[in-house]
């Protein structure tokens, strides 16, 4: 059974396939002159899959429907010129990363400067030299593929390391990291529903949202989560956990946005002095609202409220989270409740993605795995070993969610 679990976990992870071969790339040629189009298609058609658009509007529609890997764009076209087409592409979150090369008869330095200012990565003048066009196109496709490869590698490396860390901490702090596991799933589904870019950083913020709780005792956490009275000192220690998490994460390269989201999980308006780019500030704003929404829902459920009552409370305060998040979250919760079966399973029958539905205690009454914890290899190994040695009772109540 242990081997089958490992195989299932490996199948759930996207395999690293390396960089895309440039010969598999698609080029969009945009020019209103058929002769110019024919020359570029003849130059590149034997190497790449070449699509054509004869005007700016058609180009934008084609890119929206089927984004190419690179665009060769004329400037002087009727209606919408190439500068405007490029500016619109760069203003669109979905298309802004596509490299644009201007291919034009405008040869003045001022024209070239304007082309780069509008977002182009290169500028080729007509009449073209086929070898030059081939070399420029290949260079920019390789650069784009390298950037995407490095981005994916960073996400997978960080994600794997953070996943291992949270798995280990979930055994030492089951209440805190059980909560993080439940919240992570809500955040993951909601962020995809509302089509948030740089999704992995929001997901990672959810995974690490409770890391500051390592400074709070497990007993205090449990009482606070249940809504029970605690001392002022204990409450203050808990209230500081987002700041503790933020300070810990700030020490890790490339996790600044994640740290900013974690810092705002209780107070969306907290000022950390962050001076990121416009895109990153937008990511932090949306990500922190998604995280707070999921955490506030989890808090209400943990204190005994029903899902319907919890959602009613959140909807009454939708101005804080945003209507565009609360409504999709409500639909998501309803679908999750109606479509997620509960099964009785033994340790050896668990697979990745299942969720523990009921607290799992040792025979001495010590909390081992918190309800809501997603089954990972570490959780599986823990339950498998405790069950084999007779320290826990089987089977367990387990939720089997649909794949995200």
- Domains annotated for the chain, with CATH where assigned, are 22-146 (3.40.50.2300), 173-339 (1.10.3210.10), 340-404 (3.90.105)
Query: Tell me, what's the pLDDT at 5?
Result: 53
In terms of Cβ atoms closer than 10 Å to its own Cβ (0-12, 13-18, 19+), residue 107 is: exposed
The structure's pTM equals: 0.60
- Report how far residue 158's alpha carbon sits from residue 1's, in angstroms, rounded to the nearest whole number: 28
Backbone angles phi, psi at 161, to 5 degrees: -65, -45
Peptide bond just before 45 cis, omega within 30 deg:
no
Dihedral of the CA atoms 160, 165, 167, 172 (nearest 10)?
180
Q: Which residues have C-beta within 8 Å of that of residue 173, sequence separation ≥ 6?
A: 210, 213, 214, 218, 221
Quick check: bond before 2 cis, omega within 30?
no
Q: What local confidence, expressed as pLDDT, does residue 295 receive?
A: 92
Instruction: Check residue 12 and give its pLDDT.
Output: 46
Q: What is the pLDDT of residue 55?
A: 94
Other beta carbons within 10 Å of 355? 20
Identify whether the C-beta of residue 216 lies closer than 8 Å to the C-beta of residue 210: no
What is the predicted pLDDT for the residue at 86?
Answer: 96
Query: CA 155 → CA 163, 181, 329, 404, distances in Å?
Result: 12, 19, 25, 18
Residue 9 is predicted with a pLDDT of 46
Task: List, run by run, the mean pLDDT of 10-residue segments along the chain (404 residues).
Answer: 48 46 86 94 93 95 93 94 95 89 93 93 94 94 82 68 67 71 84 80 88 86 83 92 92 87 93 87 92 91 82 89 89 77 87 82 86 78 88 88 64
pLDDT of residue 2: 44
**Maximum CA extent, the chain:** 83
């Amino acid at each position: 059974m242990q081997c089958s679990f490992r195989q299932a976990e490996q199948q759930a992870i996207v395999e690293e396939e390396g960089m895309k071969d440039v010969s598999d790339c698609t080029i969009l040629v945009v020019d209103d002159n058929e002769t110019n189009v024919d020359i570029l298609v003849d130059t590149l058609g034997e190497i790449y899959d070449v699509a054509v658009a004869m005007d700016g509007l058609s180009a934008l529609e084609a890119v929206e429907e089927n984004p190419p890997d690179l665009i060769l764009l004329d400037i002087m076209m009727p209606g919408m010129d190439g500068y405007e087409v490029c500016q619109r592409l760069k203003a669109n979150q979905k298309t802004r990363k596509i490299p644009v090369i201007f291919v034009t008869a405008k040869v003045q330095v001022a024209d070239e400067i304007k082309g780069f200012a509008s977002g182009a990565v290169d500028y080729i003048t007509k009449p073209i030299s086929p070898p030059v066009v081939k070399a420029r196109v290949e260079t920019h496709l390789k650069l784009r593929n390298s950037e995407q490869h490095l981005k994916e590698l960073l996400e997978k490396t960080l994600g794997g390391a953070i996943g291992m860390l949270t798995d280990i901490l979930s055994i030492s702090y089951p209440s805190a990291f059980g909560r993080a596991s439940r919240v992570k799933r809500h955040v993951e589904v909601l962020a995809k529903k509302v089509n948030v870019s740089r999704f992995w950083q929001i997901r990672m913020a959810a995974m690490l949202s409770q890391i500051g709780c390592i400074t709070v005792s497990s007993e205090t956490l449990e009482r606070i989560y249940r809504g029970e009275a605690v001392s002022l000192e204990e409450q203050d220690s808990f209230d500081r956990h987002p700041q503790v998490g933020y300070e810990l994460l700030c020490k890790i390269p490339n996790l600044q946005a994640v740290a900013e989201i974690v810092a705002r999980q209780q107070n969306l308006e907290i000022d950390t002095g962050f001076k990121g780019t416009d895109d990153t500030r937008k990511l932090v704003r949306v990500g922190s609202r998604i995280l707070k929404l999921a955490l506030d829902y989890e808090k209400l459920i943990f204190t005994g409220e029903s899902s319907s009552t919890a959602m009613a409370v959140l909807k009454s305060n939708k101005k804080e989270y945003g209507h565009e998040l609360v409504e999709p979250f409500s639909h998501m919760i309803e679908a999750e409740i109606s479509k997620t079966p509960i099964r009785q399973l033994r340790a050896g029958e668990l697979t990745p993605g299942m969720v523990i539905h009921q607290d799992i205690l040792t025979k001495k009454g010590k909390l081992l795995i918190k309800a809501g914890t997603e089954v990972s290899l570490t959780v599986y190994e823990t339950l498998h070993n405790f069950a084999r040695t007779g320290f826990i009772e089987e089977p367990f109540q387990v939720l089997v969610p649909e794949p995200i």
